Structure 1
C-alpha cells in the first residue's frame, strides 16, 4: 500500500523528485538489492558531511538479536551487522490504528539523511523482510547506530540513582538543544522529546532517538493546523505543547516546550504532573498548568532562579514567546559557566 505521507516528507529534496513510486509498498522498495541512496556531499556548519543510508538490509549479515526495549509502535533489539554493533527497530502493525503505525514507520526516516553527534544515525531501512526474519506484526525495520541501553528516563528515575549534579544536567540539556538546533535547521520537528527518547552513550553524550512522531516542515514554516490524517502526531501528553493538544499550529517551538519539561525533570528528578490524563491535558491548555518552579529547592539558588526563568520561557503558552534552539544554547553555556 502507498505511504500515507508524501515521499517529500521522507527523503531529501534532491532525491525525491526523481523517485518513481508507482504502486510499490514504499519509496524504499523500488531499489534493487544492494543499492543505496546517496545525497551529494554538502557543507554543514563548516564541516563536510556525507549523507548516506541504505535502502536494503543485508539479512545474512545480521546476527544475534537481543531485546533492548519496546514502545507503543515498535521493539528495539541489539544486533551485530557487518561486524558492528547496531540497534534494530521493528515497527509494529497496530491493529487499533493501522494508519498511525504506518505513519510511524515512515516518520522514522525523516532524519535518516542527517548526520549529527546528538542525533541517532540511521544505517538502513526496509519494508522487505525475509521469511526467516519475518514478523507478521511488523510493518518495517530500521537499522540504527547502537548508542547504548541507557536513556535519560533511566538516568533520572532508575534504581541506581546516578548523580545528576548541575554541570551534568546542564551538559545533557545542551546536548539535546544542539540536536534540536540541527534538526530544526533542516526542517525536521521531533514532536516527542522526553527523557525516554534521549539515549545516553558510553561517552555520556545525549542523542535524540525515536522519530516516529516527527514531521518535516517546508522551509521551517509553521503548519497552521494538524491534518486529521496525521494520526501519529502528538507525542506524549505530559510533554506536549498546548497548540498540539488543541490541534492548532505546529512549528519547531513545540519541541522547545517538550525540552523545557524534560529539563525540569533533569533538575528535579520528579514527575512533571500527577492525576488523570484528561485533567492534566485540560489544565495545561485552559489553566496554564506547568511543573512547579517554587516548591523544589533546586530553584532556590541564583542559578536555580535563572534556570526557572529559562524554563518559563520554554513552556510559554504562545510558541512565538519561546526561544529557538539556537537561542537556548548561549543561555545554557552561560549557566554552565557559573557552576
Structure 2
C-alpha cells in the first residue's frame, strides 16, 4: 500500500467535506492533483453521500436551546443577531451588526452553547465562569494580531455574551495554501502570529488551544488570534495540590497540545510556544508532525510526549502538494529552519524558546541571514554565518587558520536532520580538536603551513563523515571558500570540486545547497581569470534559483551583484549596468531588518563605477561622493566596503586631473584596508602598487619606492603562483628606482618582473608593452649617467 497516497487522499477528502455540499463536485474538479487521486477522493465522496441517511441518524438529540436563549433577529444590547457562524466546544458564534443606527458595523457575538445551559448546575456555573474569564482576558489586550473585544454583557436570562470584531478571513493554513505562499513568506506571516501570542504572554495569559483554526487571516494578510475560551491568567491560577491542571483532552486540541498539557501538568507560556512549533511544522511541511486520529488517550499521550517527529523535509512526501511546490519547499526548508521548529517543539519545556517573541526573533534572524539561537551561540557558528552573508569574503579573508577550521565547523552545524544534531555536534567538536592539534607546533612537533593544515583537514573528511555527503560537502565548501578568499586557488579548486560532487550526490544538481557551492565556484573562476566560465557560472546560478522560485533568497541578489561586479572588473560596463539594475530593482524585503544598511549605498557605488567606465565622469563623481559620505556616516570606524568605494573614487579623481586629491584619498583607503586586514592580503597588493604609480606621477619618488617594494614583497607572500599583480608590482618598483637613480636595483626589479611575466598565460598586453619600454628607458638613463646595469648588457 502507498501510505503517502492514502494520507493525501484522506486529506483531500477532509477538505472536500469542508465545502458546501452543493459546491463539492465543482471544488474538487478545480483542484490540482493527479487524476488517480481525484478519482479516489470522488469515490469516498460518493460513498459518504450514499450513507448520508445513516450518518445523519444520530443517537444524540439536536440541541434544544432553553426558552431564554437568544435567537436570530434578537438584540443583545446595541447589536442584532444575523446568523449563526460556528459552534465550538463551549461556545456558539453569531454574525451580528450594530443596530442602534449610531454607525454600521459587523461583529462576531459569542455565547455559551445552548446544550451546556441545560447541564447540571455546577457544570453550568463553571462554564459561565470560564466564559467570563475569556471576556476578562480579551479586555486586557489590545493588539493588531488579536481579535479585539468591543462590548459584552448578559442577556435578560443571565446568559453572558461578548462582542468581538468580525474577522472576515480564513484559517492560517487555508490562507497560505490559497495564496501559494513560499517558505519565507510563511515565516514572515507566522512572525505576526507570534506577535499576537506574545501580547497574551505579556499579560501573563496562556492561550492553551493554539491551532490554525483559531487564527484567521483577513484579506489584508493580517492574522487575528481568536478563541481564548480555555486560556488562563497565570497569576490567578494556583497549582492544585495534586500538581495537575484539570484541562481535559476535550478542552484542548491534542494534535497541537504540549507534552505537559497532555499530561495535565503545570503550564507556562512555553506550552504555547510548543503549539506554535506544531503549527509552524504544519505550515512548512504541509502535514502535522503527528497523526492522532483513532488513538486512545494513552496512545496519544505516548506519541506527543515520547515520539520525535520526522524532519519536515522528509514529511513533504506525505503532503498534498504539486511536484513543483514540493521541490520548492524541499529547497527552502533549510537546516536552520528545521532547527528552529525542533527547538520550539522540544519535549522539555526548558529547552524551548522562552517566549513567542524569542521564537519570532529567531525566525527574523534566519530571514536576515543571521545566526539563529537554535544553534549554539558560538564564535564558530557566527563566523560561518558572516561568511555566507558577505560572499565577496573581503573581511573573512583576514582570519587565520583557526577561522578556516571554524568555518568548517560552522558548515557541519548545518546538519539536515534536527534529531541528529547532538551526534553531529559531537562529531564536529572531535574533528575540530584533531585538526587544531595537527596545526599546533607543540602537539605536531613542528609548525605547519596553511596548505598543510587544509590538506590534513580535507584528508580526514572521508573517514569522519563516511556516508554523509550532505555534511562532508559543507566541510569542503567551507574549506574551499576560505581558500578562495586567501587566494590559495589550487586548494580552493580541489575543495570546491569535492563539495560540488558530494552536494550533487546528496541534494541534486539544482538544489539550493548545490547552487550555493556553484556560486562559490563562479567566484573561484573569477579569481583564476577564467572570465567566460565565471560569467556562465553566475548566470546558471541565477537561472537555477529562478527555476526554484527562490528569488527571495539572499543568494539571488548576491549572485546578481557578483556577476555585475565581475563585468565591471573586465570592463564590460554596459552588461554590468544591465545586471546591477536588475539587482537594484529587486523588491525590498517585507522586514527591513533583512536588508543590510550598506546594501543600498553599495548599489550607488556600483552605479558610479559604471558611469566612470561609460565616460560619464561628472555623474560618477556625484555618485561616488554620495556613496562615500553615506558610508562614512554609517561606519565611521571604516569597513572593506568603504575602502573600496574610496579607492574607486580616487581613480576617478585621477582621471579628472585632481591628482593630489586622488593620492590623498587612496592613502586613506589603503590605511583603512591595512587596519581591517591586519597583515598581508591580496586586496592590498594592487591598490598599493597603484598608489606607488601615482607617487611617481607626483614626483614623490622615495614614497613610490617604499610603496612599490611593499607591494612586490607582499605579492610574493600572498600569491602561491605567478600572476599579473606580482609582475606589475616589480615593474612599478623598477620604475620608481629608475626615477631615484638607483639603476642597479631597478635592473634587478625589472628582471623579477620579466620572470613573473614569462610565467603568465596568456601574457597580459599592458605588461607586454610596458616591460620593454621600461627596459629601454632604464638603460638610456643608466648609460647617460655612466652606470653599469646587468640587464642592459644583454
Question: TM-score, normalised on structure 1?
Answer: 0.70
Q: Distance in 1 between matches of 2:83 and 2:75?
A: 18
Deviations 1:228-286 (A, max 9, x none): 3x66995210011101111112100000000001111111222443342332332212x
Q: 1 or 2, which has the higher helix percentage?
A: 2
CA distance in 2, matches of 1:220, 1:129: 28
Of residues 327, 334, 337, the one that matches 1:307 is: 337
Work out whether residues 288 and 317 of structure 1, in 8 Å CA contact, stay in contact via their aligned partners in 2: no
Partner of 1:142: 162
In structure 2, the partner of 1:88 is 109
The 3 A distance-change label for structure 1 pair 291 and 121 is: farther
CA distance in 2, matches of 1:321, 1:222: 22
Q: Determine the C-alpha separation between the residues in 2 that align with 1:169 and 1:302.
A: 11
Counterpart-to-counterpart distance in 2, 1:174 and 1:148:
21
- Give the equivalent residue in structure 2 for 1:226: 244
Aligned to 1:175: 192
Secondary structure, in 3 states, of the residue corresponding to 1:277?
A: coil
**TM-fit CA distance, 1:222:** 8.6
- In structure 1, distance between residues paired with 2:332 and 2:179: 24
Say if 1:283 and 1:266 are closer, same or farther in 2 by CA, change over 3 A.
same
The structure that has the greater radius of gyration is: 2
Structure 2 CA distance for partners of 1:264 and 1:227, relative to 1, 3 Å: closer
Counterpart CA distance in 2 for 1:217 and 1:243 is: 15
2:351 to 321, 324, 328: 321
The structure with the greater share of residues assigned to strand is: 1
Contact 1:91 1:104 in 2 (8 A): no
1:78-157 to structure 2, matched below 5 A, reads 78-81=95-98, 82-92=103-113, 93-94=115-116, 95=119, 98=124, 101-109=127-135, 110-126=137-153, 128-130=154-156, 139-155=159-175
Q: What's the secondary structure of 1:317's corresponding residue?
A: coil
Q: Does 1:293 align with 2:312?
A: yes
- The CA deviation string for residues 8-57 of structure 1, in whole angstroms up to 9 with x for no partner, is xxxxxxxxxxxxxxxxxxxxxxxxxxxxxxxxxxxxxxxxxxxxxxxxx9
Query: Relative to structure 1, is the Cα distance of residues 222 and 309 closer, same or farther in structure 2, using a 3 angstrom cutoff?
Result: farther
Once the two structures are overlaid, the 10-residue window that deviates more, 60-69 or 315-324, is 60-69
For the Cα contact (< 8 Å) 1:186–1:220, is it kept in 2?
Answer: no
- Give me the whole-angstrom Cα distance separating, in 1, the residues matched to 2:213 and 2:340: 22
- Give the superposition deviation at 1:155: 2.7
For CA contacts below 8 A with separation 6 or more, give which structure has more relative contact order: 1
Distance across 2 between alignment mates of 1:249 and 1:60:
39
Paired residues of 1:187 and 1:220 also in contact (CA < 8 A) = no
Give the CA RMSD over aligned residues. 3.1
Tell me if structure 1 keeps the 8 A contact 2:183–2:329: no
Picking from 231, 246, 260, the partner of 2:263 is 246
Whether 1:185 and 2:190 are equivalent positions in the alignment is no
Measure, in 2, the Cα distance between the counterparts of 1:268 and 1:77: 34
Structure 2 Cα separation of the partners of residues 322 and 120 of structure 1: 27
1:270 matches 2:270: no
Q: Is the 8 A contact 2:145 2:192 kept in 1?
A: yes
Unaligned 5+ segments in structure 1 are: 1-56, 132-137
1:117–1:207: 8 Å Cα contact kept in structure 2?
A: yes
Q: Is the 8 A contact 2:146 2:225 kept in 1?
A: yes
Cα distance change, pair 165–151 in 1 and its aligned pair in 2 (3 A):
same
Cα shift at 1:58: 7.5
